[in-house]
With several copies, the nearest count.
Chain A
Amino acid sequence: MPRKKIELPYSAEYLSILDENGVVDKELEPQLSEELLLKLHRAMLAGRRFDERMLNLQRQGRIGTFPPIKGQEASQLGAVAVLEPSDWMVPAFRETLAEIWRGKAMENFILYYGGYDEGSMVEKGRNDLPVSIPVGSQMLHAVGIGMAIKYRKQPQVAMTFFGDGATSEGDFHEALNFAGVYQAPVVFVCQNNQWAISIPREKQTHAKTLAQKALAHGLPGIQVDGNDVLAVYAAAQEAVERARFGGGPTLIECYTYRLSLHTTADDPTKYREAEEVAQWEKKDPIIRFQTYLQNKGLLTPEALEGMEEEIAKEIQDVVEQSEQRMTGGEPLDMFQHTYDELPPSLRQQKEEVRSNLALAQKEVDHD
């Protein structure tokens, strides 16, 4: 049946700058200072090593369940690196490196995944939200922050992270729709790592790309090679600028891969082929970036070696310091922070715990 095609203001697009062999597209290469390039590299390397060490700690039973980031270093760092400290960052739960870049202490990750609430504390001055575990729920907070920024006429933006699976939650669409209606300064960064636990991207949605989901809300959407830190940086920079100067929200789909486990409770051999992982190992974001830096003469094998030692030592210190703090915790502390002040009913419950503890102590002394 013949009919009119509706012209849309936006279409979904794709961007790649640094290919998997480290070859850069001169046309598109962003002009970043040597200092920034090296800083990005060191951060990714440290992120990778910290991730490996956390996995060891978990395997040794020294911390609980945690979600590794291996393979997604560029995908999150390229985006967050564009932000000003005064901007806001709203992570999901797999943005460990992005949070470290923003200033969260490695020590706090060990505390948090070691079972200590103190670990999710957000220091004054760092405008980030703590991790958000309910999938798809946090993007609305970023939109609300963006709306508040607009109301206060501040030159800030809010950047939020979420996975491919999160795009199936209704809240994801409500967030894009609110952001569009109020033209809030928000950048939506989807970490499409191809898997939502055992569900592959193709089973998550019939859509060809996740970037095109922006079209439902009249927003620009772009898909970038998430293992290419330069492409992620360039796309994020454009989106952040647009948001900062009143151009409204953008959806960025970082096309990457989760090389490791969903969490330490997960067994990927149940649902994916080693072959697929091997293919993606070749696209490692850190290796290709090292090639790029070496070709630019910014990185030597020796420098790299030194850097590795430095990072190893840094992480070792962090582990020791945090474990010194993991001394079991103070039971009565659990009554903190549910309300600003303890209501009478909670004061009574706290007293009950206090006396139970005393009693238990007495019995121990008895035996």
Chain B
Amino acid sequence: MTKMTMVQALNLAMQQEMAKDDRVLLQGEDVGVDGGVFRVTDKLLEQFGEERVLDTPLAESGIVGTAIGMAIYGLRPVCEIQFSGFSYYILHQLEAHAARMRHRSQGRYEVPLVVRMPYGGGVRALEHHSESREAYFAHTPGVKMVIPSGPRNARALLVSAIRDPNPVIFFEPKALYRAFREEVPEEEESIPLGQPQLVRKGKDVTLIAYGAMMTPTLEAAEELLAKDGVEAEVIDLLTISPLDDALIMASVQKTGRAVVVHEAPKSFGPGAEIIARLMEKAFYYLEAPIQRVTGYDIIYPLFALESAYMPNTGRIVQAVRETLKT
């Protein structure tokens, strides 16, 4: 095992999948010679050549639209959108075609497409470079929405996403690209899509988060134990949609309390669905209202104020204390 950043781990996933499956190819803006603006595809052009690592013209719909054609032909294109703030350009191709081709052709064609993109805030970026709009894709039937939270699961999930026969939107928490390293095994490792993970056991309250928010969420769990003696159970969604809520139900039926955390704007955000599921399946176990710690329903501010926008350990701890009041 070597310690890797998420950038290196993602690179490893693509490198290995490309090495063993010549159907896999990459395309996007600056993914080749430049190795991606975050270097996630670094050196892959040298290894696999221009035929399999395509530096495309500057057109997101073109990138995904052509990738849909490639996927129908039988390839497994992995596209990069440079920032999720520019992913809205692809929604029509994704919703109208990638998500529907299997259904429209009644099973004749599938679109094993992965669209990777960095998302989220906290990196002192320019406008459009800090948003989290996973809810758009999570609400799109036919698409899978995946978000890793560390180098190791990023690698293992990307491998599964590349092998998945359905279109997968793969959000990469850019704040974590180089935030910390983890042991990542050289040998192949994958995590099945669609399975949230229990990352910390506890009995008093369930914290549900994903992506970059796992960091403050786990910190909050620590702080709650240290300062309040509260044992928080923590769940990492990993796959936002289709959402398998079994683990969440089991946990909340045990703890009776929950807090959901995400960077995305609060209203009509992913947290709402989790709460709705809990309402449907765990209502009688709830001892207090479930709290949301999220971004706000506003234009994401430039970085002088982003720390005021982003959920942080303090806000999460605070919310947990609220739920524990009753």
Contacts and interface: CB of A to CB of B under 8 A. Distances in A.
A198 B34 contact: yes
Interface stretch (B54-62, B146-154, B255-263): B54-62
Contact of B105 (A120, A328, A329, A334): A120
B282 interface: no
B296 A140 contact: no
A116 B267 CA distance: 25
Contacts of A135: 58, 86
A270 B32 CA distance: 10
A140 B103 contact: no
A7 B296 CA distance: 55
A123 B108 contact: yes
A169 B96 CA distance: 15
Contacts of B54: 182
Contacts of A88: 73
A177 B70 contact: no
Nearest to A271: B33
B105 A175 contact: no
Interface string B61-75: 110011111111111
B304 interface: yes
B122 interface: no
A333 interface: yes
A340 interface: yes
A145 B69 contact: yes
B303 interface: yes
B106 A356 contact: no
Interface residues of A, number: 84
A105 interface: no
Interface stretch (B13-21, B176-184, B197-205, B307-315): B307-315
Interface stretch (B3-11, B206-214, B241-249): B241-249
Nearest to A359: B318
Contacts of B226: none
Interface stretch (A295-303, A310-318, A342-350): A342-350
Contact of B97 (A132, A149, A333): A132
Contacts of B109: 122, 129
Nearest to A181: B57
A328 B305 CA distance: 7
A65 B125 CA distance: 7
Nearest to B267: A345
A328 B245 CA distance: 34
Given A198-B30, A326-B304, A64 B126 contact: yes
Nearest to A93: B126
B304 A329 contact: yes
26 contacts: A64-B126, A64-B303, A65-B124, A117-B302, A121-B108, A123-B108, A140-B62, A141-B69, A141-B97, A144-B66, A144-B69, A144-B71, A148-B69, A148-B73, A165-B57, A165-B58, A170-B61, A177-B59, A178-B59, A196-B29, A199-B57, A338-B99, A338-B298, A345-B245, A345-B267, A346-B242
The 4 A-B residue pairs with the shortest CB-CB distance, nearest first, are A144-B69, A140-B65, A198-B34, A144-B66
Interface of B: 25, 29-30, 32-35, 37, 51-52, 54-59, 61-62, 65-75, 77, 85-86, 89, 92-93, 96-97, 99, 101-110, 124-129, 141-142, 144, 165-166, 194, 242-246, 266-267, 296-299, 301-306, 308-309, 314-315, 318
Given A90-B69, A133-B129, A335-B296, 20 more contacts: A64-B303, A115-B305, A121-B105, A122-B105, A129-B105, A138-B97, A140-B65, A143-B69, A144-B65, A144-B67, A144-B73, A170-B59, A178-B56, A334-B308, A335-B298, A336-B103, A336-B107, A345-B297, A346-B296, A346-B297
Interface of A: 64-65, 88, 90, 112, 114-124, 129-130, 132-138, 140-149, 151-152, 158, 165-166, 168-171, 174-175, 177-178, 181-182, 196-199, 203-205, 265-266, 270-271, 326, 328-329, 331, 333-340, 343-346, 349, 353, 356-357, 359-360, 363
